[in-house]
Amino acid sequence: MSTELLKAVAASNEWWALGPEIILACAALGLLVLELVTPKAQHRFIPHAAGMALAVVLAGVALNFGKIWDGEELFGGLIRLSMPGQVARVFFLLSSLLVCFLATVCLPRARVPRVEFYHLLLVVTAALMLLAQSNHFVMFFVALETVTIGFYILVSYYRERASSLEAGLKYLVLGALSSAILLFGIVLLYGAVGRVEAGGVVHTGFEFGTVLTFLRENPGNFLATAGALLVIGGVAFKIGAFPFQIWVPDVYQGAPTPVTAFLAVSSKAAGFAVLLLLVHGAFAPLAGVLVPVLSLLAAATIIFGNLSALTQRNTKRLMGLSGVAHAGYLLIGVVASFTVPWAAGAVWFYLFTYLLASMAVFGVMAYVAGPDDSGEELDHYARLARERPFLGAVLAVGVGSLAGIPPLAGFMGKLLLFVAAFHAQLYGLLAVAVVGVVISIFYYFGWIKAAWFEIWTPPAAGTDSPARPLPAGPKWVGVAALALLTFATVLLGFFQAPLSGWLLPR
């Protein structure tokens, strides 16, 4: 091995550019060390340490956001720094910070080890951030697998509950299937592209750039098209798009509430980050094939998600299946972004509003679930608004934003997506989406109704069921977090400039 080659490699390995990911990984290891060296009585400070690490990294990324990343390739083309990558970093850090908060609410109630949860959370967050910036199929797959394996463990984290283990098993089997589909696609692309020598450097079909060049020069190559579609199929599993949504309700229901939130927000956003990366990067020449496929996926996903969510009484299943419908709306944005460049920004805007609203709703769910985490049916929300007005209000705003009621942020998110679709002349999809939104209002308002309007039920004779204990009131951190989320949701409904000026190019 020559020293020149070593130097060349070392020059492109700019580790400092991956500072946030490296700090998170080190913090994750630090948590384990902290558990070993500190006395057991002080272990309850470890979750706060994890939260602090996330907050510090988030602040660091936000402060350095102004530095323009314009497609610099690092690590010999493994990583590509770009504006969407930075946005994804902020998104995943914010989401994980809120999951951290949910975990401090939920985990103490269950008989489970604590520290490992935060360790997994930090590692998965770092992998998510790498995933959104990958520029090479090896990096892509390794980061995706790290995320998926982390989720296998997190979903089955409540190991004393059969439902959690069942969810973990289902996610494992179907996740392995989707990984197989994805790998098969990657292998087909690799085989179709082969080895390309340019300027003495050998490129392979693992590199996004090489795949792009190959697809541009060989339109209609069957193997490569099939490979690209299989890769999209693997990504659609993460998103929960129609033919790959089968895992969603059971896994969401069985997983611990913080993990459900993490799955609903971060995992879905990761899918969309990757999808945008691929359809505008490596697979851009395949637009003729991808537009009809993704349009079909979007329409089927919206219809399936909304219709199946109609009859749900379990709130986690409701969030899961309505999340499928949200994935459908977002897919419309992805389709529109083929012709309307700013639609990708609209997708990210929607994801941010979805993050704020979902986390607020999951926060309320964490408090309503009660000491044994069992209260997740709609019936458990009865009289919530009277007994805990604050939680009721947060729920109403969060659910209203998810339903897309003006003037909340969710409405603006949907509006931006639909305007993008209109500009892209996707009238058919737009019609499906509007019908979907109307259906969604029914089940979302069923939830608000359960919390705000009392239904008089005749006391059944004989079955004198004991009254459910009052849901615990949130502590000041919880109040602050939920109030902040609600405030941001309302504020973004009126002033979009803070977010849109940042996501949408002027």
Which parts of this chain interact with another protein (CB under 8 A)?
Answer: 1, 5-6, 9, 13, 18, 25, 28, 40-41, 43, 75-76, 78-79, 111-113, 116, 119-120, 123-124, 126-127, 130, 138-139, 142-143, 145-146, 149-150, 152-153, 156-157, 159-160, 168
User: Of the two residues 153 and 187, which places its CB atom closer to another protein in the complex?
Assistant: 153
Please choose, from the candidates 221, 337, 343, 242, the residue with its C-alpha nearest in 3D space to the C-alpha of residue 286.
221
Vertex 217, ends 215 and 220: CA angle to 5°?
Answer: 55
| CA–CA distance, 235 with 244 (Å, rounded to integer) | 9
What is the Cα–Cα distance from 2 to 477, expressed in whole angstroms?
A: 56
Q: Which is nearer to another protein, 48 or 386 (by Cβ)?
A: 48
Cβ 386 to another protein shortest distance, Å: 33
Smallest separation (angstroms) from another protein to the CB of 121: 10
Distance CA 504, CA 273 (A): 15
Closer residue to another protein in complex, CB, 168/233: 168
Task: Please say whether the dihedral angle defined by the alpha carbons of residues 229, 230, 231 and 237, taken in this order, is positive or negative.
Answer: positive
Q: Where are the alpha helices (DSSP H) in 194-267?
A: 208-217, 222-239, 248-254, 257-262
Closest contact distance (angstroms) between CB of 200 and another protein is 15
Is 78 within 8 Å of 130 (Cβ atoms)?
no
Minimum distance from residue 76 beta carbon to another protein (Å): 5
Cβ pair 107, 114 in contact under 8 A: yes
d(CA 185, CA 223): 9
Q: Which is nearer to another protein, 2 or 463 (CB)?
A: 2
> What separation, in Å, do the N-terminal and C-terminal C-alpha atoms of the chain show?
49
SS3 at position 196 = strand
Q: Which is nearer to another protein, 120 or 503 (CB)?
A: 120
Cβ 52 to another protein, closest distance in Å?
21
Integer Cα distance of 301 and 307 in angstroms: 10
Q: Does 407 sit behind a cis peptide bond, omega within 30 degrees of 0 on the bond before it? A: yes
Least Cβ distance, residue 150 to another protein (angstroms): 5
Residue 6 or 438 with smaller CB distance to another protein? 6
State the nearest-atom distance from the C-beta of 25 to another protein, in Å.
Answer: 6
Which residue, 126 or 351, has its beta carbon nearer to another protein? Answer: 126
Closest to another protein by CB, 96 or 312:
96
Q: Is the CB of 125 or the CB of 257 nearer to another protein?
A: 125
Distance of closest approach, residue 167 Cβ to another protein, in angstroms: 13
- Distance, CA of 28 to CA of 323 (rounded, Å): 29
User: Residue 371 CB, nearest distance to another protein (Å)?
Assistant: 15
Q: How far is the CB of 98 from another protein (least distance, A)?
A: 21
Q: How near is the Cβ of 258 to another protein at its closest, in Å?
A: 15
Interatomic CA distance for residues 378 and 450, integer angstroms: 6
In the bound state with another protein, the residue whose beta carbon lies nearer, of 75 and 418, is 75
- Secondary structure string (H, E, C) spanning 374-397: CCCEHHHHCCHHHHCHHHHHHHHH
How far are the Cα atoms of 95, 377, 416, 428 from residue 435, in angstroms, in the given order?
30, 26, 17, 11
C-beta closer to another protein: residue 75 or 352:
75
Burial of 211 (0-12, 13-18, 19+ CB in 10 A): buried
Strand partners, 314: 377
CA angle 444, 323, 275 (to 5 degrees): 150
